[in-house]
Amino acid sequence: MPGGVAGAPPIMEAPYADGAGATIAAMNIALIAHDHKKDDMVMVATEFAAFLSRCHLLATGTTGGRLQAEVGLEVERCLSGPLGGDLQIGARLAMGEVDAVIFLRDPMTPQPHEPDINALVRACDVHNVPCATNVAGARLLLRELERLNP
């Protein structure tokens, strides 16, 4: 499985099995989107809903709420990003509990919690966790994760 800390246990097991009948651990994917990118996140999540429904999803507050309401995904919701949600996800990532991050950032709008955003992206780099920050990257990452975890 790409990313994550070697030897860290999965948070949740998937309800499906490989060809030999062994349980496959669910991917733990964090989904975050700035206000002007939330529609894009809903679009991408809808496109990959079948795959994402087999994953353990972790999201910041408003993004998670929209994914639940508009896509029908089960999402563990953290605080809103400006209230510490990015830091909560970063802490989970540092503990090996996040396998991939989709973080649709708005580069054209200043964010009051920019240090938190930079800390989360840095944590992805430090812990070698793949992080997509735009729709094209999100599609590539999710397509590959789906291929590796049918």
Q: Write out pLDDT tens, residues 7-39.
A: 443 333 334 344 554 445 789 999 999 999 999
According to the model, what pLDDT value does residue 46 have? 98
Catalytic residue ranges = 86
pLDDT tens digit string along 126-135? 999 999 999 9
Indicate the SS3 state at residue 80.
coil
Buried b (16+ CB within 10 A) or exposed e, 70-81: ebebebebbebb
Which residue ranges form the domains of the chain, and what is each CATH number?
25-148 (3.40.50.1380)
Q: Which alpha helices (H) appear in the chain, and where do they start and end?
A: 38-47, 49-52, 61-66, 85-94, 114-126, 135-148
Q: What is the model's pTM?
A: 0.82
> Under 8 Å CB-to-CB from 145, ≥6 apart: which residues?
2, 27, 29, 51, 99, 100
Q: How many Å apart are CA 32 and CA 28, to the nearest integer?
A: 13
According to the model, what pLDDT value does residue 50 have? 97
pLDDT tens digit string along 78-128? 999 889 899 999 999 999 999 999 999 988 887 878 878 888 999 999 999
Dihedral, CA of residue 93, residue 8, residue 53 and residue 138, to nearest 10? 40
Burial class (CB in 10 A: 0-12, 13-18, 19+), 82: middle
Tokens 């999965």 correspond to 10
Residue 140 has pLDDT above 80, yes or no: yes
